[in-house]
Amino acid sequence: MRWSIDVSADARLTPHEDAFGNMIHVFSAAGPLAELRIDVEGAVETQDTQGVINGAVERFPPSLFLRATRLTAADAAIRQFAERVRAACAGDALAQAHALLEGLNREMVFDVEMTDVVPSASEAFALKRGVCRDLCHVFIAAAHCLGVPARYIAGYLQLADGRIDQEAGHAWAEALIPDIGWVGFDPANGVCPTEAYVRVAVGLDSIGAAPVRGTRFGVGSENLEVAIKVGQ
């Protein structure tokens, strides 16, 4: 695995691990700035483990991943969805997780036009549409209703059609299955992660695992542009 980060401003990158074991790089840049560019390049080796996670840093007990955030709180509709899954797959956490995966992939539409807003799980489930981020939030909320610890994963996906240029990264969820461990589930595509997935960060929701976060002080406006290339 190899990663490099380059910042256009005169700034010093300070690396550290956050509470979840994610590698974080922090910097500050003095303005005024007409443009701030961050270039990240990496090369990784992946393998197909049928979604099962091996060797990940685990610093918290599984019960932490039953904690709801503003984005992953379940409402009555999500609880009813989870109860239907419980009734169909009673007592089998793996079957329940797969049923959540298939149900969300079937009932919700992947809508790339929703990238500019961040709805909560309940809002996205009511709309029956969202980007991969939103489907993950619903999966996590429903898993919590079943008593299954679940968390948000941010990363990248090598597309099956060979396209390298992408407008955004990818996201999926992981659920803790007894006697197996953490297993990945991608409700946007209805599959468990394969060697095409690059796992980068873990969090309770998309905010906690965001690839880039920042705060700007002062007047003026800003516009974010993202360009991603994922290739073999």
Residue 64's pLDDT is what?
97
Residue 113's pLDDT is what?
78
How far apart (Å, rounded) are the C-alpha atoms in residues 83 and 95?
A: 13
Residue 74's pLDDT is what?
98
Residue 123's pLDDT is what?
96
- Over the stretch 35-57, which tens digit does the pLDDT of each residue have? 999 999 999 999 999 999 988 88
Residue 216's pLDDT is what?
84
Residue 49's pLDDT is what?
93
CATH tag, 47-229: 3.10.620.30
- Give every residue of the chain whose pLDDT is below 70, as ranges: none
Residue 1's pLDDT is what?
77
Query: Half-sphere exposure of 132 toward its Cβ, with a 13 Å CA cutoff?
Result: 19
Backbone φ, ψ for residue 142 (5° rounding): -70, -40
How far apart (Å, rounded) are the C-alpha atoms in residues 208 and 202?
A: 7
Residue 221's pLDDT is what?
82
Q: Is 216 left (phi over 0), alpha (psi -120 to 50) or beta?
A: beta
Letter for the amino acid at 231?
G
